[in-house]
Chain A
Amino acid sequence: MDLSSINPLVLIAALMVASTPILLAAIGELVVEKSGVLNLGVEGMMITGAICGFAVAVESGSPALGFVGAAVGGALLSLLFGVLTQYLLSNQVATGLALTLFGLGLSALMGQDYVGIKPPATGDVNFGPLADLPVLGIVLFRHDLMVYVSLAIVAGVWAFLKYSRAGLILRAVGESHDAAHALGYKVVHVRLAAIAFGGACAGLGGAYLSLIRVPQWTEGMTAGAGWIALAIVVFASWKPWRVLLGAYLFGGVTVLQLNLQAAGVAIPVEYLSMSPYIITILVLVIMSSNRGRAALAAPAALGRSFHASS
């Protein structure tokens, strides 16, 4: 065992990269759920984003265009969910699960010609001398653009929900669609916009996997990341900064257990592998028992269908 071989700064930098896909997907889902909609199709939207982004990047040679394509692809797929749940009032849980099934199949069909291809490389942002700063340089200034974009989205969502009028409307819709409707807000439109935003974010998260973190396209490559993103939203009790905390915590435990193994720590591997999930549960228990209101933090109208005449 040689713990000195683990450099904590490098570890933090690594966990930021490892967490970015679930962070992107989770922050999008947070907005969706804040509007009162539960979309369990995150995994399907992520993998669709992964192939859309990959295909666009390969065909155009531009990773940036790839990310745009991923966002569009994820949003389009999410609107399928949106139309079903908002106009045709289908059950959100079942529709979300169906969306995952459909997304996995669709992405595999789309990706048949993209197996074994290397996407164009995405470089790290050049911060010049900042990158050489002690401590902060490694942790903060040596990442690719999407890491900063994901942080910016978290900050943006936080500010949007807290300070903007549109954010207030979104939350009102999520708390009581009937009241919001009575006040003259377009409940369905607000929710569709939120769903599309969630789809776009999930698509970006998927593309981060296929274009930067892995980078390659293979069927089923998200390997459950979408489900983790869902868990993190609940874990964060629907607060943007806690989503960041949750995603980094989860990514951190994952990266840490691999590092501990590499350093030769004699902990049974299977327990290490389940540790991210168990630790997430434990933290959740502690949070919810400390604050008796944790369950109340959920948007009151979450998962309920809205119809104007009802």
Chain B
Amino acid sequence: MKRRNLLAGAALALGLGGAALAGSHEPLKVGFIYVGPIGDGGWTFEHNEGRLAVEEHFGDAVETVFQENVPEGADAERALTQMALQGADLIFTTSFGYMDPTNAVAGKFPDVKFEHATGYKREHANVSTYSARFYEGRAVQGHIAGKMTETNKIGYIASFPIPEVIRGINAAYIHAKRVNPDVEFSVIWVYTWFDPAKEADAANALIEQGADVVLQHTDSTAPQAAAQAAGNVITFGQASDMGEYAPMPRVSSIIDNWAPYYIARTQEVIDGSWASVDTWDGISTGMVKIGDISDAVPADVKAEAEAMAAAIGAGEYHPFTGPLNKQDGSPWLAEGEIADDGTLAGMNFYVEGLTGEVPN
């Protein structure tokens, strides 16, 4: 068994050697693995915008390759191996489900740098992880939503009950409640990231039951259109700006802005200063961008929201600052205490005041 291992290793190393050799002559090759089509208008679309920004920034010094619609699991491992074999120097894998494949392939190609989005495993020195603090944007949304709702009922279209989504619900709720004690959240779990028809139905169900603000953690613009048809309902763009629905119903948005990070990391590979890190950036570095707050929002609310975003960006304010209790009333954060990243990363509970249960 051992000798076979060695043989296979040699074969891979051979391919790798060729790649490294090629690397010294050719432009730096940066690869991207996408979970959806680049035309999804949301998650993958924004990662691809980041790729295009890399191309524009470096010009001929960098060549990018990508593969879209890569299923998580075995297919991802192959797509990664393929890119590494064909001489990629730096590969971004842009979905949580690529975590184990990324680390597995990284073990076989020690000279290729791997960057995995939204995961936590860095089993090799050539793996970094990166993610965005979208909850910072959710806090700003919550503030605007709490101020603007007249029915005091806020609808929330959630995808899957994972920490990322739960964090967003909590952040939005805390800040809506702070400015409007009567506010209530209705959460619909649609169990999909992307199903425009179902998202439209969910938005309509929320609106029909009296919600006049709809927040979404799914990627299509279907809820925006539903809100527009209903009139008098406000929404926020998700993943991308969804500016075509401004100024109403879309009053602001959270934009995934990966370009600065992708450019910086590519530059580090060129400089030879790249190292394995865990990045969790937010408004401060521009990884999370608050889309333009439209005129449908009263000037004072807009000013408050912008001030909050600025305070978060400057590190003066953290959206999860105590006193905060968990849903069952047990204390979570004491007065002035700030949530640690570990708890936030694995968040699986609602804060006090939210009704309903986190599924499972």
Contact = CB atoms under 8 A, between A and B. Distances in A.
B187 interface: yes
A262 B190 CA distance: 11
Contact of A116 (B188, B222, B244, B355): B244
B186 A118 contact: no
Contacts of A213: 197, 200, 222
B225 interface: yes
A220 B202 CA distance: 19
A216 B220 contact: yes
B96 interface: no
What class of interface size applies to chain B in its complex with A? 35 or more
Interface in B27-81: 36-37, 39-41, 45
Interface in B169-210: 186-192, 194-198, 200-202, 204-206, 208-210
A118 B40 CA distance: 14
A215 interface: yes
B221 interface: yes
A156 interface: no
B37 A216 contact: no
B359 interface: yes
Nearest to B355: A264
Contacts of B291: none
Interface string A252-290: 001100110111101011100100000000000000000
Given A7-B208, A108-B39, A266-B356, A258 B201 contact: yes
B201 A14 contact: yes
Contact of A111 (B39, B221, B244): B39
A214 B222 contact: yes
A5 interface: yes
B188 A261 contact: yes
A135 interface: no
A117 interface: yes
Contacts of B244: 116-118
Contacts of A221: 196-197, 220
A262 B205 contact: yes
A214 B37 CA distance: 18
B40 to A, nearest CB: 6
A13 to B, nearest CB: 9
A41 interface: no
B101 interface: no
Interface of B: 36-37, 39-41, 45, 155, 186-192, 194-198, 200-202, 204-206, 208-211, 220-222, 225, 240, 244-245, 355-357, 359-360
19 contacts: A6-B209, A14-B204, A112-B39, A115-B39, A115-B45, A209-B196, A214-B225, A215-B225, A216-B41, A219-B36, A219-B39, A220-B37, A223-B198, A254-B201, A258-B202, A259-B208, A262-B186, A266-B356, A269-B359
* 3 nearest A-B residue pairs (beta carbon): A258-B205, A214-B196, A219-B37
Given A14-B205, A111-B39, 18 more contacts: A6-B209, A14-B201, A21-B197, A108-B37, A115-B45, A116-B41, A116-B240, A117-B244, A118-B245, A213-B222, A214-B220, A215-B225, A216-B41, A216-B196, A218-B220, A223-B196, A255-B204, A264-B356
